[in-house]
Structure 1
Amino acid sequence: MMSKGPDQPPSYSTLIAPFLQASRVCCITLNEADKIRLIGTPPEITPAIRLAIRQGWGAIQREQNYAGAHEFKLMGNPWHGQSEEAVRSRKLITAVLKAMANYGWNLIQAADVSKKQSDKDSLFFELGPVQDPQADLFSISFNRSDRIRVIDAPHMVPYVQQAIQTQWKYGIQMQQMYGGAHEFKLSGNPFYSDWNEAVYARMLLSQILANLRSQGYKLYTSVDISIGTDGMDLESWVFRRVGPAWS
């Protein structure tokens, strides 16, 4: 058998989830403008993520083994989504998180662990004690300097609206459906604010969290999924209903 030279890369088999005693951890990364990599996930997760991608985003261009990770290359550019595609990319990440929760994998942390330009968060999961086939998740995105979009949760729109009306003194300029999401365009610029407005913006966000918590939903993660201008892109929030599998 020919031995590997010093310049040849090592061979990788499919990676298994790291574990210590009863704990199991895996990772999903968002790469370049159009890729998702499953690192250390169990084999039964792959078909569920494939279905989540198709439901949340659309077509998959190809799949391959990437240094032991299962990589999906998507059609289009979800991590550089503009206009209504930005809504679809949030639907995609929510669908992936829901698929993981269905199999009992709960998110530990979304973390920025790269210094690359235009990097995005990596998602770390831990296997919980029970699966959650009825996991209920939705997302809220903050866009430009003055917009809030409630995605796939029309029943939560009144609670977001109440938070804006009570905590943002400049009020709502307009509302519309945008790419299937309910969009609030606020008067003023809460996400590019100074002085007193910076305080009002944080009170607004706190009230959104409180209102949704009162309805049984808690913030599951705040995640950076966009290739934006450094320091200018905003994270998106994903909420999950509290229950026996996650609290």
Structure 2
Amino acid sequence: MAEVIAQALFKKANSGPPKPPTQTRAQQQQQLQYPLSTTICCIYLLGNDKIRLINAPSSLVSSLRLAIIKTWNQHILAESRLDFNGGREEVIYEFRVGGQPWALSPKAGPFITSTNLVLAMKKAMETRGWSLVLASNMSRVREENDLLVFEYRDSKAGSGLSLTPSQERDPDEITLVGESEQKNKNDHKNGGQNQGQEQVLSDEGSIDMLNVELSGYDTIRVSEAPTVIITALRLAILRHWTQGIEKESDKKGVHEFTLTGCPFQTWGAETTFEVSMVIIQALENMQLHGFKLVESTDLDVIGSGNENDEFEGKAP
């Protein structure tokens, strides 16, 4: 009897096999409106020694491998392609490197730090057209950011979004600016601030902004969001988080999703992949409704593990 009680006390919640989330027929039909993202991927720094490339084209694997070899003075111990995505072309590829770069005391050698390795990987991604748009401390295990999210920017397509050099240097606070806003800043430098602002307002219309907050270990909180964005976030969660949504609440313009399990305390391999895909799909879904990430701020000032992401879009 004592053994049974001990097992009940120390057994991890949701330690059994993941169950598919419950979706209504209407939600299943709505999912068809949101394609799986092919322009957003991420690099996840996992455990003490793993680098995981998620939802990326296979062409990025060699670039990342070269960046690791050139920058890190320890060998790549193992490489593997993981199949969590049902055989899709976008890969989930994992490197395991020596020296434990993500440990509290990495064995890198003199004049080499894990920061050098992260910078080299960011440069490799940027060279291939993938710009950093979000950096987050997703695992809540250490102080550094361990989830780096990138978006493909085709310069020939004229997407109208760019990262300014000063913003690219600071992964904790990244701002995207559109062509019209950049033009306004240039007009200000040239002494035509008022004229530039009037042109933006007349051409672009008013701007909507909303906040998405990752709170604690299981909560996504969205403020000042239209119903279509709340639906888009719900579908992103249900699509990739197999444990589903435990409950939802709405109060004073703030909609809160409480997820089953602890998605933002990632210790398992499948959990890492799922929560990464939730973030990627949420960004993709909101972009389809005209909202772009303009600022990401770490609000973990008292150890609560909160992160606030601000989105901007044109009002319909």
Give the TM interval when normalised to the shorter protein.
0.3 to 0.5
Higher strand share: 1
TM-score (norm: length of structure 2): 0.36
| Bigger fraction of residues in helix | 2
Larger-gyration structure (1/2):
2
